[in-house]
A = this chain, B = another copy of it.
Amino acid sequence: MNSIDKLTEIFSRFPGIGPRQAKRFVYYLLQRHNGTTDDLIRALDDLKLETSQCSRCYRFFPKNHAGSNICSICTDKTRDESLLMIVPRDTDLDAVEKSRSFKGLYFVLGGVLPVLEREPEKRIRINELRERVKRDEGVLKEIILAMNANTEGENTSDFLKGELKVFQEASFSEFTISILGRGLSTGAELEYADPDTLKNALLHRTK
């Protein structure tokens, strides 16, 4: 395979990219006469050197000078360590951070569980989550399951509730489990809302 086809093949495995757009990426780089290609190689090298995965929340983060393997959120003393939000992926964590509405800590699950998944531990960091909860025993007061409002998200929430209940019952730790509130998302219209969304919007109406 020549280098144009090889690079096209790698780009076509990127999320949401087909072979045609992958080819356009390659021509985009070629038309820029190596300038952008060099920038890209440098940025990829830097990504490898300067990024770590946090050993506590498992998110990826830019390494700091101390070379700590714990990220800036997990080491931030102003955050409330009694609150733990479990999110599927780094992008979900980014979205919640950007909303500036949460001041607790996170755990990045690494994925979601399709219905009838037989090997959950291969899809999500369930063993790592167990260790995290054990470690935080006594401190933890609430675990928030922040999943997408779709079938896979609900399936993952149900699975996690089952796993976490074992802890609630076995240990002396007393944490509650909560899920994100349902209602009208920004832009939602009554006419097209499903019954469940309407029911929740009514239940959580605010004065």
Chain A residues at the B interface, C-beta cutoff of 8 Å: 2-4, 6-7, 10, 13-16, 20-21, 23-31, 34, 36-41, 43-51, 53, 60, 62, 87-92, 94-96, 98-102, 110, 144, 146-150, 176-207
Contact = CB atoms under 8 A, between A and B. Distances in A.
Contact of A195 (B62, B101, B187, B188): B101
A188 B39 contact: no
Contacts of A184: 148-149, 180-183, 185
A24 to B, nearest CB: 5
Nearest to A176: B207
A3 B46 contact: yes
Contacts of A183: 180-185, 200-201, 204
Contacts of A21: 15-16
Contacts of A195: 98-101
Contacts of A179: 205-206
A20 to B, nearest CB: 8
A43 B10 contact: yes
A148 B199 contact: no
Contacts of A89: 27, 191
A197 B28 CA distance: 26
B27 A188 contact: no
Contact of A180 (B10, B149, B178, B205): B205
A38 B146 CA distance: 33
B190 A4 contact: no
Given A43-B3, A88-B190, A36 B51 contact: no
Residue of A31, A92, A200, A207 with highest tally of chain B CB at under 10 A: A200
Contacts of A191: 20, 89, 91-92, 94-95
A15 B28 contact: yes
A195 B97 CA distance: 9
